[in-house]
Amino acid sequence: MDNQQIIELFQSRGLVDSALAQDILAEVGHSGKEISEILADFQVVQHRDDIWPVVASELGASMVDLRNWTPPEALLALVPAGTARLHGALPVSFDETGLYVALVDPLNPQTPEDLRFALGREINVVVAPDYLVEAKINECYGGEGKAMEDILSQLDASSANMSQAELESEANSAPIIRYVDLVLYQAIKEKASDIHFEPFEKEFRIRYRVDGALYEMAPPPFHLALPILSRVKVMSNMNIAERRVPQDGRIVKQVGDKQVDMRVSSLPTHHGESIVLRVLDRSSVNLSLENLGLTDHIYNYITDTIEKPNGIFIVTGPTG
């Protein structure tokens, strides 16, 4: 969801003032965390999932619990797999008033309209946490591999004849957003340490590193390199108009109950920008100094040194 939309929603309900809103948006840009996490950090809400009742209230929609829910096959058949993945839409129920769907981005007014046109049915929106909707779509429609194929077919059909300027605007389109999210989700699920987006003269490769070995994903069409790279730069708060100098950024993504931190670096090359994401799963790394197994004299030395008002403290060793 759009961070500005969420902040304006909370402002309109008197939950944050303008000064706090600016601080929250600045922290989103600085930390790379999702807006729901920042709102919890600033104690606007108690938990990141507490933003969804506010969204539901704004839309006049009902909340649904998807955790232990499995939709019947007849219900899933009402929304083709490609449409469900493209629009981030999960069918929840159906009655005489229309089809009820949970959306990954329920605040996007264009999505229900697109679904009405595609399905020929009245669409009613219900609300659930976005990461649960996304996980349930993958679970019900065949997993990430099939999802990638479906979205690639949609991308190929919709973007092949676009101009350069139109391709740049595609960075914020639903197919590109869904595709990049799936790439990151699949790499994180495979416990990748790095994700590489690499343009070449006649192809565009996406590879991820697991235990030192690089594995290549199914490549997207070559003409989609620019919008895909632009999407990654948008997510990491980089300047998408600047392609001549290296840039650094950060993405914090919620995958299920885990928070994954990605450090992003871009580097200009002869055939376009190459982008590398370094993945750090916070749940699998204990960063407590006390639990590193240091001897007493080294631990005491470190704690004394870092309290000094100036100087530099260097830790060396292999990365990872």
Residue boundaries of the structural domains of the chain: 3-59, 73-139, 142-284
pLDDT at 143: 59
Q: How many helices (H) and strands (E) does the chain have?
A: 13, 9
* 311, pLDDT greater than 50: yes
Tell me the pLDDT tens digit for each residue of 240-262: 888 899 999 999 887 766 778 89
pLDDT at 263: 92
Query: Which strands sit side by side in the sheet containing 204-210, from one edge to the other?
Result: 213-216, 204-210, 194-199, 272-281, 258-269, 247-255
Residues 6+ apart with CB under 8 A from 70: 140
Regarding pTM above 0.75, the answer is: no
How, if at all, do strands 194-199 and 123-126 pair? Answer: unpaired
pLDDT at 261: 87
CATH of domain 142-284: 3.30.450.90
User: What 3 state SS string does 249-266 have?
Assistant: EEEEEEECCEEEEEEEEE
Residues 6+ apart with CB under 8 A from 62: 56, 126, 127
pLDDT at 160: 46
Rounded CA separation 105/137 (Å): 13
Residue 93 DSSP code: E
Q: What kind and span of H or E run contains 291?
A: none
Tell me the pLDDT tens digit for each residue of 123-133: 999 999 998 99
Q: Work out the percent of the chain whose per-residue pLDDT is above 90.
A: 35
**Helix or strand or coil: residue 278?**
strand
Tell me the pLDDT tens digit for each residue of 189-225: 888 899 999 999 889 999 999 888 889 887 888 888 8
For residue 162, what pLDDT band results from cuts at 50, 70 and 90?
A: low
User: Quick one: CATH architecture of 73-139?
Assistant: 2-Layer Sandwich (3.30)
